[in-house]
Structure 1
Amino acid sequence: MAFITHSLKNAAFDAIARFVLVACVCLLLAPRPSAAAPTEITQLRVERADDGVYLSANVRFDVPAVVEDALLKGIAIFFVVEADIYRDRWYWTDPRVASAARTLRLAYQPLTGRWRVNIVSGLITSSSGLRATLNQNYETLPEALSAIQRLSRWKIAEVSEIEADANYALELNFRLDLSQLPRPFQIGVAGQRDWTISAQIKDQLRLTPAGVEGAK
């Protein structure tokens, strides 16, 4: 009787071991979703014109499936872009001489099946609300994203704030602003990598006259 019980235990253990082994092999061989490409700021150009300093750049990023799903359910997504200019100073910390911000709101309109982009000067707060300076509708999500990803001659400083013969550093930040999501939704997405869309550039530059290629 003891021999039979021992044999049954061994058989059960072998069956469990084979099941675990097969499960591990299946997990290793199962196709895995490819990681989203990192957010990247490219083609950065800063120009000095008669009426101010202008920035142009492209921001490359993919919209994860969970973010697109939230958009299709009627949840608006906000992106923030901030630019700060610092003057190089060898004897102390670099002072910030100019600062600019822009908020971009992306939303899907189920009734029309179109996408809407609102571009707001500055940051949105509970008191300021949505002061849109530019509203545009698009037929597809890629078209709407193109308007968000392209920064074209964005004025980030006045001429009086910048000296032509001085050296400066530019800090440019782009991010998805989770604080603008509905409060219950913020709790659910906090810490999720799929909701992290951000990029930063901080580099030395010399401002160039408008129309001259390259600023970095």
Structure 2
Amino acid sequence: MLALPASAEPTDISVMQVERADKGLVLSAQVRFELPAVVEDALLKGIPMVFVAEATVLKDRWYWYDKEVAQATRYMRLSYQPLTRRWRLQVSSTPITAGGLTLGQNFDAREEALAALQRISGWKIAADAEIDPGAVHRVVLRFALDVSQLPRPFQIGVVGQPEWSISATEAARVPPEGAR
């Protein structure tokens, strides 16, 4: 078993809240992690890191496995521009490519960019039609660094290295509509 370095803190989802809204389920969460030195070094050299948040909505069933009723994915690309010394965070519901639609924000400090990356607020994860108002649902949130979107030489080099492992999973129950 590989041990994490003493300075590395585990990734966790410290706050997760799921609410029934007018048009479906809305998720808010706070993810806590520190960038490992190797990841920060790659960022400072201009290599972007893509983080993925994936929410799965499951309907509780007593007679069989829970039924998946909805799934939402959010891609967040964190990058550093060495020439301008600015951080950029791009957020999209589809994998981030050169021609895709993204919401971008620039930051002067690494701490500001990380705070925005670690905060998920008001994310619609399921439409009202997908949710049974009288049933209990369970929402599973997975957050991770997607090493498959790194340049090829990095992908080969990160295999088996725990410093590149940033991931957390959390679940929450959503009661039926009338229950409190």
For residues 39-79 of structure 1, what are the alpha-carbon distances to aligned partners after superposition, in whole Å with 9 as ceiling and x for unaligned?
01022111111122110000000001111100011100000
Which protein is bigger by CA-based radius of gyration? Answer: 1
Give the CA deviation at 1:131. 2.2
Distance 1:179 1:118, change over 3 A: same
Helix, strand or coil: the match of 1:145?
helix
**1:117 maps to which of 89, 92, 96:** 89
For residues 136-162 of structure 1, what are the alpha-carbon distances to aligned partners after superposition, in whole Å with 9 as ceiling and x for unaligned?
000011100111100000010001111
Highest relative contact order (Cα 8 Å, sep 6+), 1 or 2?
2
Identity across matched positions, percent: 54
Q: Is 1:105 matched with 2:74?
A: no
**Counterpart for residue 19 of structure 1:** none
Distance 1:208 1:66, change over 3 A: farther
RMSD over aligned CA atoms reads 1.9
**2:112 maps to which of 120, 138, 143:** 143
For residues 116-174 of structure 1, what are the alpha-carbon distances to aligned partners after superposition, in whole Å with 9 as ceiling and x for unaligned?
000011345xxx65624310000011100111100000010001111222101111100
Give, as a single letter, the amino acid of the residue that structure 2 aligns with 1:190. Answer: V
Give the CA deviation at 1:207. 6.2
For residues 89-127 of structure 1, what are the alpha-carbon distances to aligned partners after superposition, in whole Å with 9 as ceiling and x for unaligned?
011111100100000000001111000000011345xxx
**Counterpart for residue 45 of structure 1:** 17
Q: Say if 1:57 and 1:150, in contact at 8 Å, map to a contact too.
A: yes
Which structure features the higher share of strand residues? 2
Give, as a single letter, the amino acid of the residue that structure 2 aligns with 1:164. Answer: P
For residues 155-206 of structure 1, what are the alpha-carbon distances to aligned partners after superposition, in whole Å with 9 as ceiling and x for unaligned?
1000111122210111110000000000111111111111000000134332
Q: Which runs of 5+ in 2 are unaligned?
A: none
Alignment of 1:13-24 (within 5 A): none
Helix, strand or coil: the match of 1:186?
helix
Helix, strand or coil: the match of 1:166?
coil
Which structure features the higher share of helix residues? 1
Give the count of matched residue pairs: 175
